[in-house]
Amino acid sequence: MGGPMAGRMLNAGHELTVFTRTRAKAEPLLRAGAQWAEHPAEAARNAEVVFTMVGLPADVREVYLGSAGILQSAQRGAICCDFTTSSPALAVELDRAGRAAGIDVLDAPVSGGDVGARNGSLSIMCGGPAPAFERVSPLLRLVGTNIVYQGEAGAGQHTKMCNQIAIASTMMGVCEALLYADAQGLDPHVVLQSISSGAAGSWTLDHLAPRILRNDFEPGFFVEHFIKDMRIAADEASRAGLMTPGLDAARKLYAHLAERGLSRKGTQALYLAYQNAVS
């Protein structure tokens, strides 16, 4: 997702310096005029705004706080904006470390998948210093259409946990509905015409159910990343003393997918877990 998002900023006329652990993934951006950096600190050194999107909280920590990390080199007054879905507690830690260095750090996880990244239609949920959010909002509007300031550091990540909890149960419902349609001899494509615009309508039903019906389980968002997100959400919910039976059930089903070696498939591959159970 980071590549298309960076491309939209480059296409809008902004100067862009990029770093990714696999340089080949950045080649389209480099051919379009972006500059290459050898490590995160180099990418951040002269930047007014730094955007990051990596995989895991451990990656976020290394990118920001490691020996070649962003907060070691970013200039005072810079804004750092992390699009990664990560730990709320880590977002608070980065906010504090950034303030000590004279740098504003926003946690700004996104939702909308690969389609939203390409189309610039992501939902972006932001936490951190409000003045920094206002300053960076014009850039956020290049990649998102629903951009909401949620509050202090960590609030963006907590909001993304709400998003992932809702998706977890929704994805189960979509898979179960499609299996039910098939078991009753209905044409699932025709069923989708009826239910997608009714009370059952959702992004998942509109964008991922058609992929399931095409047997397209390639990733817009990796199973392994969703498992990571659900683990964070479950931990945060437990700390708050909450029951999350839907989330817990989804975690078990996705764990079965991972055990089958399907961690690098898209989240819609949950259908395969159900299919395997009834076959």
- b (16+ CB within 10 A) / e for 154-176: bbbbbbbbebbbebbebbbebbe
Q: Which residue is catalytic, options 25, 160, 228, 265?
A: 160
Which amino acid type is present at position 195? I
DSSP 75: P
**Residue positions counted in the chain:** 279
150 closest CA partner among 162, 167, 135 = 162
CA dist 116 → 20, 38, 221, 245 (Å):
21, 28, 11, 29
For 9, 234, 247, the CA distances from 238, given in Å and listed in that order, are 38, 6, 12
Q: Is 252 a catalytic residue?
A: no
Which residues, including other chains, have CB under 8 Å from residue 81's CB and lie 6 or more apart?
49, 50, 51, 52, 105, 106, 108, 126, 136, 140
CA distances from 96 to 63, 75, 152 (A): 16, 16, 11
The pair of structure tokens assigned to 178 is 């499609």
According to DSSP, the residues that pair with 147 across neighbouring strands are 124
Distance CA 51, CA 80 (A): 6
**Catalytic site residues?**
160
